[in-house]
Amino acid sequence: MKKVVKVVQALVLLLVACNTQAQYKSLLWKISGNGLKDTSYLYGTMHTADSSIIDLSNRAKPYFEGSKAYAMEIDPDGDKNMMGLMSKMMMGKDHSLKKMIPEKEYRYLDSLCTAQIGVPMIMFDNVSPAIIMTIFEASSMGLDESAIEGKAPVLDMYLHEQAKKAKKKIIGIETMSEQLGALNSLSYQEQADMLKDEVDSFQVNKSSGTEVLKYYLDQDLDSLATGSEDDSKRGEKFYKALVVDRNARMATRMAEFIKKQPTFIAIGALHLPGEVGVIALLRKKGFTVEPVL
């Protein structure tokens, strides 16, 4: 009898452990309760062009079509001051990325840039290293031919075009200025050091990018979050500005506009899971947030 009890206890502990570790196994989440008249939906995207990402999102199509508004991190049609935005991406005439990172890493970035974009790295020598880092991360995921040849759109923009065709209200949760401010929360040299570390890490483990894409296609936000936690250890200040602070801002703004109309919200998947993720923050505000797919 005691043996049976021990087996049952072990099974219970195993189930608890599994439930604790696998809290975020979906890209699509339903938002309800807290006085909402209509249900809204939250979808985790990947800011990368790949046909498999678009194909996966088609499962959420009925929920997208049933919403009156589409919300994304930034409305590409919302900010008209392009010259001002471009200036925030540049470091200024006294800075050069080539002088800020070792020659080995610069040569690697140059070969990658030339192969995938068709222009040498020197063309981006004055661009903020944080911007270069986001481009590098997107290019390191082992994408399919549709992405490399430019045939597959980035999911957020694909949904944006679909929303425009359906004449949905389009909501930009943040402004471009706010996002660029987050990217530039570190000094240029601190950003360059992080970029160097990112390139070195990728050269040691070139499968890391494809692993990220696999986790996403498996809808395994828990594993994605684990990688994000590793990033936070490398640059706590950057992580706070780019993830923690932005999550709080986005959750607060979502809580307001979902009261006005049922909205399909698409933001980067890494913003969803964890104690400081948008899902947890919306729950703290009194909403019920449940996985759908």
Report yes or no: 199 and 109 within 8 Å, Cβ to Cβ.
yes
CB 279: neighbour CB atoms within 10 A?
25
Residue 292 makes CB contacts below 8 A (sequence gap 6+) with 26, 28, 29, 30, 41, 60, 63
CB 182: neighbour CB atoms within 10 A?
19
Give 10-residue mean pLDDT values along the chain (293 residues): 42 38 83 96 87 91 96 83 69 89 91 80 89 72 46 81 96 88 84 87 65 88 72 68 92 97 96 94 97 88
pLDDT of residue 138: 63
The C-alpha atoms of residue 216 and residue 285 are separated, in whole angstroms, by 27
Report yes or no: 10 and 275 within 8 Å, Cβ to Cβ.
no
pLDDT of residue 79: 65
pLDDT of residue 159: 94
113 three-class SS: helix
pLDDT of residue 61: 95
pLDDT of residue 272: 95
pLDDT of residue 19: 39
pLDDT of residue 4: 40
pLDDT of residue 81: 59
